Amino acid sequence: MKASWETLLESVNGCRMCRLCENRTHPVPGEGDPNARLMFIGEGPGRDEDEQGRPFVGASGKLLDTMIHAIGMERCEVYIANVVKCRPPMNRNPEPDEAAACMPYLRQQFVLIRPRVIVLLGKIALRYVLGEDRPISAARGIWVERKGVFFMPTYHPSALLRDPSKKREAWEDFKAVRRKLAELEQADEAGPQQ
């Protein structure tokens, strides 16, 4: 079946494909510009997100907003989603079977949005989106290209709140994202190469 936003949101809102449905208040499908060039992927909803049904609205979200503003963009111009759409109890990491059950929704979001640049916020996003199980400190700052889409792994905002000394590196990563978007825009304006 061809994916559409309507069927996607309906499916997520009624989803019982993994045990995380049992404790959720609201599923958090994601939000933003459905045609965004830039997408952010976090881990899963926390308490504030579970209460409101919106991604990154707690303390981590405030920091993410600040960083989005710092590269000259607004939250409504990007798309923000998570690996799992329902809150893991006590904010534990999603289990592999939960991430696997939820991944088709994220894939449908990629297909519908077709972002050019995707920022992976933290180790969980890196592990489940790119299949790379390594520390975010080793992967961050290095572009990974898959089928013309550019992935930038960086620290999760909650890691930056715990250890502000990591903010300098995160800022480098965000500046690299800003440069990549400008570069891609220029290439698009120049049209296809002869």
> Nearest CA to 5 among 41, 46, 33, 40?
33
Q: Which of ligand URA, ligand SF4, none lies near 119, with the C-beta cut-off 5 to 8 A by kind?
A: none
Please give the backbone phi and psi of residue 98, each rounded to the nearest 5 degrees, phi first.
Answer: -70, -45
Q: How far apart are CA 42 and CA 131, in angstroms?
A: 15
Q: Which of ligand SF4, ligand URA, none lies near 154, with the C-beta cut-off 5 to 8 A by kind?
A: none
Q: Which stretch binds ligand SF4 (CB under 6 A): 1-9, 47-55, 96-104, 139-147?
A: 96-104
| 79 touching ligand URA, by CB under 6 A | no
Q: Which of ligand URA, ligand SF4, none lies near 27, with the C-beta cut-off 5 to 8 A by kind?
A: ligand SF4
**Any idea how long the chain is?**
194
Instruction: Among 56, 105, 155, 174, indicate the residue that binds ligand URA (CB under 6 A).
Output: 56
Residue reference for tokens 């049209």: 191
3-state secondary structure of 27: coil
| 8 touching ligand SF4, by CB under 6 A | no
CB 39 within 8 A of CB 81: yes
Q: Which of ligand URA, ligand SF4, none lies near 39, with the C-beta cut-off 5 to 8 A by kind?
A: none
Write the CA distances from 112 to 1, 2, 66, 175, integer angstroms. 13, 10, 26, 26
* Beta carbon nearer to ligand URA, 46 or 115: 46
The footprint of ligand SF4 (CB under 6 A) covers 12, 15-18, 20-21, 27, 84-86, 98, 101-102
